[in-house]
Chain A
Amino acid sequence: MSDMQDSLRELYQEVIFDHNRNPRNYRPLPAASHHADGHNPLCGDQLTVYLQVEDGIVREASFVGHGCAISTASASLMTEAVKGKPVAEVEALFRDVHALLTEGREAADPARDFGKLEVLSGVKEFPARVKCATLAWHTLHNALVGEHETAHTE
């Protein structure tokens, strides 16, 4: 099997299909304390991330929108990963995931356990698709820092 076929299987793993077909936390959050819109003009991918933060802890996280399997799965996995975490830790996770997707595992905190998020690293071999995977995370970051401009991955 060629390298390309290996890379394709690395990217399109069952976890990705599962979260694409049945995205977790896919709903608006009326009680959200933070939210932000994200848009990838190149793909047309569009999403809104909602967060409910209390006492510095992300109690709830959700999203709505539309996009490719990679961006939908990334958003879905993200909402699961950040729930219950302190804001500072979520920000650290954002930085590490961003490093993982754009530069590779060695650029992230060596102590970081990515858990299920590890599947997203397959996107590294597809430069044209990296932005699909990072869109939700940039939008999360914007929601937390109160940036009201739509997040763009362009």
Chain B
Amino acid sequence: MNAPRDPGAQTPILDLAADFPILARPVHGRRLAYLDNGATTQKPAAVIEAEARFYRESNANIHRGVHWLSQHATELYDGARATVQRFLNAARADEIVFTRGTTEAINLVAQSWGRPRLAAGDEILLSTMEHHSNIVPWQLVCEQTGAVLKVIPVQDNGELDMEAFEGLLGERTRLLAITHVSNALGTVNPVAAMTRRAHELGALVLVDGAQAVAHQAVDVQAIGCDFYAFSGHKLYGPTGIGALYGRAELLRHMPPWQGGGDMIRTVAFDNTTFAPPPQRFEAGTPNIAGAIALAAAIDYMQGVGLARIHAHEQALLEYGTRALQDIPGVRLVGTAREKAGILSFLVDGIHPHDLGTILDSEGVAIRAGHHCAMPLMTRFGIPGTARASLGLYNGLADLDALVAAIHKAQALFGTRRQA
């Protein structure tokens, strides 16, 4: 990506921290440098207010009341679905199913699409860099159906081995389940090109968008994928809400995977008929306030502009990459040519967990560990990494705080070397 050489000149750096109340809160007496956005993002006042406003002014159950408040809540909920549709550029609103998050969305596809259709010997193709949430649901469905997993290896720089991908793709491949952006390495995968190849061989494609949606504009029609999953809390929305995009003709032929209210057309003890998508997949009272606040988060991001957010984070990524590479004893893990704002690294002689504790004492919040990607850590022969992951409210000061805190840790551990 083309970030300017000097982020100070003609800066694409945004200054939005004031929109996020929690960032004003000191941690351990220090200014908070929140660099754990890959785990979850902080929420702007607009999102917090949208959720509170729903409960203050609009709360009622949806799709069942004749009273005014229920109709009002239903309109807001349906409006949130339309917001997600536009956000992903889905062709139709009924291609958007609200879920608890990415994990539930993937499990939905595994159980509703996969379980009835997969047979012994069918292959599901995924990659070494998948989050556990895009591995374990497929392992479960493999146990149920006799299907098998095939795994695309990762190269030393954190990019997928595309030659191996071509070799693994075959006539038994029924589904490619692939992450858009690696949560542990930041690698952006060429999901559109991979989707074209998978489709040529008759396989469907699910893209795990959990780490992508907050960092770049996503267009599911341009990608061409059949399913796309994401979580609200990673794009400045609340926890417990996310969405699955599924192509209409696929969703139409998928059976329900959870039963209950709201997903039926008629219920009788000898014959129950199901509602069309997306209601068929939304059994029970959904997270109404969450969906509405998720729409508020999308509105907030679109107000800033996805292209500006992307340019901002790329500038920070370049600044942070250079700053970390300049520290003797620091090694970046994941140096793909195309990356989202994730800096995974190791510091010689300091275990990531010790580093995490020392950085925290300086107000710098990072993630340390395997990042729910244990096969990937095994691939690199490491127990885990320290990970700084960027968001739209981060600035150069956060990365400077990160660098200063790493210096402090090296001084404490006696591993500091001169540049």
A68 and B353 in contact, given A12-B412, A17-B414, A44-B370 (Cβ under 8 angstroms) = yes
In the docked arrangement, what's the CA distance between A86 and B289, Å?
61
Q: Which residue in B354, B361, B377 is a CB contact (below 8 Å) of A4? A: B361
Residue on A nearest B408 in the bound complex, by CB: A8
Residue on B nearest A11 in the bound complex, by CB: B357
* Count, chain B residues at interface, CB 8 A: 20
The answer to whether B357 and A4 touch across the interface, beta carbons within 8 angstroms, is no
Is B331 an interface residue when CB atoms closer than 8 A count as contact? no
* Count, chain A residues at interface, CB 8 A: 23
Binary B-proximity of A30-45 (CB < 8 A = 1, otherwise 0): 0000000000001111
Residue on B nearest A5 in the bound complex, by CB: B361
Is B413 an interface residue when CB atoms closer than 8 A count as contact? yes
A128 and B29 in contact, given A44-B370, A67-B351 (Cβ under 8 angstroms) = no
Is B358 an interface residue when CB atoms closer than 8 A count as contact? yes
Inside 8 A of B354's CB, which chain A residues have their CB?
12, 68-70
In the docked arrangement, what's the CA distance between A129 and B352, Å?
12
In the docked arrangement, what's the CA distance between A42 and B352, Å?
12
Binary A-proximity of B394-419 (CB < 8 A = 1, otherwise 0): 00000000000000000011100000
Is B369 an interface residue when CB atoms closer than 8 A count as contact? yes
Inside 8 A of A12's CB, which chain B residues have their CB?
354, 358, 412
Residue on B nearest A1 in the bound complex, by CB: B29
Closest CB of chain A to B412's CB: distance in Å? 6
A4 and B28 in contact, given A43-B353, A44-B377, A68-B354 (Cβ under 8 angstroms) = yes
Q: Which residue in B29, B357, B374, B412 is a CB contact (below 8 Å) of A126? A: B357
In the docked arrangement, what's the CA distance between A70 and B352, Å?
12
The answer to whether B383 and A2 touch across the interface, beta carbons within 8 angstroms, is no
Is A136 an interface residue when CB atoms closer than 8 A count as contact? no
Closest CB of chain A to B205's CB: distance in Å? 31
In the docked arrangement, what's the CA distance between A44 and B381, Å?
12
In the docked arrangement, what's the CA distance between A60 and B412, Å?
33
The answer to whether B383 and A132 touch across the interface, beta carbons within 8 angstroms, is no
Closest CB of chain A to B361's CB: distance in Å? 5
- Of B354, B377, B414, the most chain A CB neighbours within 10 A belong to B354
List residues of B (340-392) whose CB comes within 8 Å of A's CBs.
350-354, 357-358, 361, 368-370, 374, 377, 383-384
Binary B-proximity of A111-134 (CB < 8 A = 1, otherwise 0): 000000000000000101100100
Q: Which residue in B29, B351, B374, B377 is a CB contact (below 8 Å) of A68? A: B351
Q: Which residue in B29, B351, B370, B377 is a CB contact (below 8 Å) of A69? A: B351
Inside 8 A of B370's CB, which chain A residues have their CB?
44
Closest CB of chain A to B112's CB: distance in Å? 30
Binary B-proximity of A1-31 (CB < 8 A = 1, otherwise 0): 0111101100110000100000000000000
A45 and B413 in contact, given A8-B357, A68-B351, A68-B354 (Cβ under 8 angstroms) = no
The answer to whether A43 and B369 touch across the interface, beta carbons within 8 angstroms, is yes
Inside 8 A of B414's CB, which chain A residues have their CB?
17
The answer to whether B361 and A8 touch across the interface, beta carbons within 8 angstroms, is yes
The answer to whether B357 and A46 touch across the interface, beta carbons within 8 angstroms, is no
In the docked arrangement, what's the CA distance between A42 and B358, Å?
18
The answer to whether A43 and B383 touch across the interface, beta carbons within 8 angstroms, is yes
A-B contact pairs, 7 of them (CB 8 A): A8-B357, A8-B361, A44-B374, A44-B383, A67-B383, A69-B350, A126-B357
The 9 closest A-B pairs by CB, nearest first: A44-B383, A68-B351, A4-B28, A68-B353, A2-B29, A8-B361, A69-B354, A68-B354, A44-B384
